[in-house]
Chains A and B, each alone.
Chain A
Amino acid sequence: MEEKRTAWERLQLIHTKGRPTIRDYIPLIFTDFYEMHGDRLFGDDRAIIGGIARLDNRPVTIIAEVKGRDINENKACNFAMPHPEGYRKALRLAKQAEKFHRPVICFIDTPGAFCGVAAEERGQGEAIAKNIAEFMTLRTPVISIVLGEGGSGGALALGVCDELAMLENAEYSVLSPRGFASILWKDASREEEASGIMRITAEDMVELGVAEAIIEEPLGGAHNDLDKISENIKEYLSQKIPEKCQKDIDVLLKERYTKFRKIGAFTE
């Protein structure tokens, strides 16, 4: 690995044009991908894609937040900010995976759940809450990977899993450093300072018990070598998925609950 970048440098890096998105990764990691559409309740949210594919010949369900690679893609996927129907589609596909005993692989890459009138009217809070609760007891292995931005509840809705991996330069946070600075200091321009305090890097996540693994990026970042970063992600999944699938599901669920149950800092 190169010399460690600061949180701020990493934030710049993951916002660099050309940072690979899930659409770049799918053909290089999986085969036979069939996309599924809609939550069967309201509509199809393009900010989240999901479907069935094979990983090393094993059927898996993929659920992913989608960043656009250009302005048109970004408009279509709402800059990876899902509405409630996106989270509900994710849950539908997760339940489908549970039924057919397929492991679930979630890719997180979002600034956060969309903040808008329609999102509120259709229950953004309820949709996220339900995903978190249902994934906690989903009777099939779940692995989540943060590709770039892991923004708040919008990320956690795909982040309740048996194991979480961070790409080396990815971040995971309760709120964007800009929003954080704006709320706590009433000054959004202090975002760089906020990024330094918040503990949002891959190493921070491992230290705090939020993530279990860091997937190394090529020199200069994921965009410099798409084949290499895809290979690294695939290598991680090819090891972890069979490992989790071999475990007794009740043991796995207990461990999943415990993973989140023990995060916290208090005295008594």
Chain B
Amino acid sequence: MFEDFFDVVKKRFNGSDDDYKPPMFKCPRCQDTSPLSKYEELHRVCPKCNYHGRLSSKERIAITVDKESFKEFDKDMKSLNPLDFPEYDEKQQELRDSTEVNDAIVTGTATIKGSPVVIGVMDSRYMMGSMGSVVGEKIARAFEYATENGMPVVMFTASGGARMQEGIVSLMQMAKTSGAVKLHNDAGGLYIAVMTDPTTGGVTASFASLGDIIIAEPKVLIGFAGRRVIEGTIKQRLPEDFQLAEFMHEKGFVDMIVERKKMRSVLSHLLKLHGYDRKEV
């Protein structure tokens, strides 16, 4: 009883339960811990090592475009099951419920510091951001809209590659998206690709690599073939920095590496340098 009393006093004195610890974030890169609130405040960047964590499409849009400027395209588009792949429909339904997106990309129009853009943001939470019919169709429509309306496109990529469950249909989305990018390009439109973690496989081998300007967040994974596949081919371990943004930058496939906190302002400057100034969408 005395102990109980003592506990109550202590709790009041400390202003919290003894067991209470603020939620912490353990960085998968540097392994160090920081308060979760600090990590969230930095939009999921590790305060210790600058590790850029993955964002949902909703979070990315919120930190990139002007408040309330985003108007979504094709919100209700959902994938069918072209191969009748077992459990594909069920898996998608679960993901729609848990992620609150209908597939691995959200597209629409918005303004960035006043400049109107067509924007697309891939969502790696949805089947690893893989590209199937919906991702392909939404990207093609986004570029076509931009071409028709003389608008620039900003595309945030995050994908494990093709959507295996859609087989050859998913492979063909590489042609569909790249074709739409090419027509936008030929009409003189600006396309800025922002590669975020991870940008690999069929997405790297299609629209992600076709930007007039290619930006990457620091240390994100960018490549065509998976690391394990390559290690299996060459029968040796690859260096740690292989296929990171900095590696691709050095090899000449990325124009600039931009930290998350500066992304909005860099995008805004680049848009304005191409004459896309303030005007109503």
Contact = CB atoms under 8 A, between A and B. Distances in A.
Contacts of A183: 164
Interface residues of B, number: 61
A119 B183 CA distance: 28
Contact of B81 (A129, A261, A265): A265
Prevailing SS type, chain B contact patch: helix
Given A115-B233, A128-B205, A156 B179 contact: no
B225 A124 contact: yes
Contacts of B186: 137
Contacts of B162: 152, 174-175
Contacts of B202: 152-153, 174
A42 to B, nearest CB: 12
B210 A265 contact: no
Contacts of A205: 168
A222 B14 CA distance: 83
Contacts of A172: 168
B72 interface: no
A127 B78 CA distance: 31
B19 interface: no
Interface in B197-242: 201-202, 204-210, 223-226, 229-230, 233-234, 238, 242
Interface string B69-96: 0000010111111110110000000000
Contacts of A264: 133-134, 136-137, 169, 172-173, 176
Interface stretch (A10-18, A66-74, A98-106, A195-203): A195-203
A268 B74 contact: yes
A116 B181 CA distance: 28
A268 B205 contact: no
A174 B171 contact: yes
B104 to A, nearest CB: 13
B182 interface: yes
A197 B238 CA distance: 34
Interface residues of A, number: 49
A10 to B, nearest CB: 15
Prevailing SS type, chain A contact patch: helix
A120 B77 contact: no
A261 B140 contact: yes
A217 to B, nearest CB: 20
A210 B172 contact: yes
Contacts of A117: 230, 234, 238, 242
A61 to B, nearest CB: 20
The 4 A-B residue pairs whose C-beta atoms are closest, nearest first, are: A125-B204, A115-B225, A264-B133, A265-B80
29 contacts: A115-B225, A116-B225, A116-B233, A116-B234, A117-B238, A119-B224, A122-B251, A125-B205, A129-B178, A130-B209, A132-B174, A132-B175, A136-B182, A137-B183, A160-B179, A174-B162, A174-B166, A174-B170, A174-B202, A197-B86, A198-B168, A199-B167, A257-B183, A260-B175, A263-B176, A265-B82, A265-B169, A267-B80, A268-B78
Interface of B: 74, 76-83, 85-86, 133-134, 136-137, 140, 162, 164-176, 178-183, 185-186, 201-202, 204-210, 223-226, 229-230, 233-234, 238, 242-243, 251-253
Interface of A: 113, 115-117, 119-126, 128-130, 132-134, 136-137, 152-153, 156, 159-160, 172-175, 180, 183-184, 197-200, 204-205, 208, 210, 257, 260-261, 263-268
